[in-house]
């Protein structure tokens, strides 16, 4: 659920999941993408901000291609996500 919520910028769903547990932030899809990498890749700043506030270490998790959230944001032109 957290992967879908992050990829689609469902901030209310992310907030609800975070109020219960941060464990959802550690989910990975088959490509190794976490909610943080999907939010960054798609330029979902509000969702990414919520995720980072709850678990800043998610910025260090790379997917199977070795891309971390900041790299995916940059590759997809989401410069604001890098701030």
Confidence of residue 82 (pLDDT cuts 50, 70, 90): confident
Nearest CA to 66 out of 35, 33, 42 is that of 33
**Secondary structure class of 82 (helix, strand, coil):** helix
- Model pLDDT, residue 25: 84
> Does residue 78 carry a pLDDT above 80?
yes
Global pTM? 0.89
Whether 15 and 22 have beta carbons less than 8 Å apart is answered as: no
- Tokens at residue 39, please? 């939010």
- Model pLDDT, residue 1: 87
pLDDT in tens, 21-72: 888 888 899 999 999 999 999 999 999 999 999 989 999 999 999 999 999 9
Separation CA 30–CA 57 (nearest Å): 20
């Amino acid at each position: 659920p957290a992967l879908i919520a992050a990829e689609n910028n469902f901030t209310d769903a992310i907030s609800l999941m975070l109020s219960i547990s941060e464990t959802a932030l550690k989910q990975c899809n088959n490509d190794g993408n976490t909610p943080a990498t999907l939010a960054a890749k798609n330029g979902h700043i509000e969702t990414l901000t919520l995720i980072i506030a709850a678990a800043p270490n998610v910025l260090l998790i790379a997917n199977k291609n070795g891309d971390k959230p900041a790299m995916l944001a940059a590759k997809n032109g989401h410069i604001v996500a890098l701030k």
